[in-house]
């Protein structure tokens, strides 16, 4: 039985290989963005119940895809990959998505988790480091990571576009606090698990400097903060512009109807 699962979920190589900005990489990005926008156009005129159910299903799928991966890793990699513990922004955000979706006690941070879901998934699909090189675009390792980040992006994007979450510039300080907490949490993970297995080094949230050796290690936490917070501000700006354009379009249509 184990050999059967190894053949299904094993990492495979072949003539087709996924590399940075190759046709396969671009295809995955197009699928993720396309399905997310398609979901919006399909749901925008549906009932509030239909929208809520759709977002709830996505929340279940995000956490389900993350947890299930730990059970499949022994077949795909021969071990459980400690690097996938929730010390990265994308893995920790994925865990929080069900909490903010289903528990009103987490409502004060729902916009933060939504913004992090969009930002972290976009950053990953732009440079999907763990899915590049030496493997086919359709092996489990590639499919799982793109599906996970794709579901997370879809949940965040649809939460905003379907108005289940609203971004407010007066509360964007929450994202700054959230990033600081993430950096502190990643510091704990990097040093608590450093050397497990023997001699292994982790760079969760890229704050140790080993992933980007051309940047001084002491500077990396500040670089990460600036990069992620800058992306959050950009998402807020895009949301603001889209809302303003929609508002002006609505006002213009109202004037035409009155005339």
Q: What is the C-alpha to C-alpha distance for residues 159 and 233, in angstroms, rounded to an integer?
A: 17
- Dihedral of CA 67/55/35/175: which sign? negative
Burial class (CB in 10 A: 0-12, 13-18, 19+), 37: middle
Q: Is 93 helix (H, G, I), strand (E, B) or coil?
A: helix
Q: Which pLDDT tens digit goes with each residue over 69-120? A: 999 998 888 888 899 999 999 999 999 999 999 999 999 999 999 999 999 9
Q: Which pLDDT tens digit goes with each residue over 208-230? A: 988 888 999 999 999 999 999 99
Q: What is the pLDDT of residue 237?
A: 97
Distance of CA 211 to the CA centre of its chain: 19
User: What is the pTM assigned to this prediction?
Assistant: 0.92
């Amino acid at each position: 039985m184990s050999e059967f699962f190894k053949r299904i979920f094993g990492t495979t190589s072949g003539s087709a290989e996924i590399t940075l900005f190759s046709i396969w990489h671009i295809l995955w990005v197009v699928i993720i963005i396309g399905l997310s926008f398609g979901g919006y156009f399909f749901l925008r005129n549906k009932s509030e119940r239909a929208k809520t159910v759709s977002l709830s299903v996505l929340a279940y799928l995000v956490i389900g895809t993350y947890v299930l991966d730990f059970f499949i890793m022994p077949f795909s990699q021969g071990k459980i990959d400690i690097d996938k513990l929730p010390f990265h922004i994308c893995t920790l955000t994925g865990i929080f998505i069900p909490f903010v979706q289903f528990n009103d006690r987490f409502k004060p941070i729902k916009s933060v988790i939504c913004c992090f879901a969009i930002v972290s998934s976009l950053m990953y699909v732009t440079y999907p480091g763990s899915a590049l090189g030496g493997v086919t675009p359709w092996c489990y390792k590639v499919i799982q990571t793109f599906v996970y980040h794709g579901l997370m992006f879809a949940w965040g994007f649809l939460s905003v576009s379907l108005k289940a979450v609203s971004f407010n510039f007066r509360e964007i300080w929450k994202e700054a606090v959230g990033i600081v907490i993430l950096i502190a949490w990643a510091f704990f993970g990097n040093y608590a698990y450093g050397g497990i297995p023997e001699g292994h080094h982790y760079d969760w949230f890229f704050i140790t400097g080993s992933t980007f050796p051309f940047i001084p290690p002491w500077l990396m936490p500040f670089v990460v903060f600036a990069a992620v917070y800058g992306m959050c501000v950009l998402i807020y700006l895009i949301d603001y512009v889209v809302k303003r354009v929609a508002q002006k379009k609505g006002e213009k249509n109202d004037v035409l109807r009155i005339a």
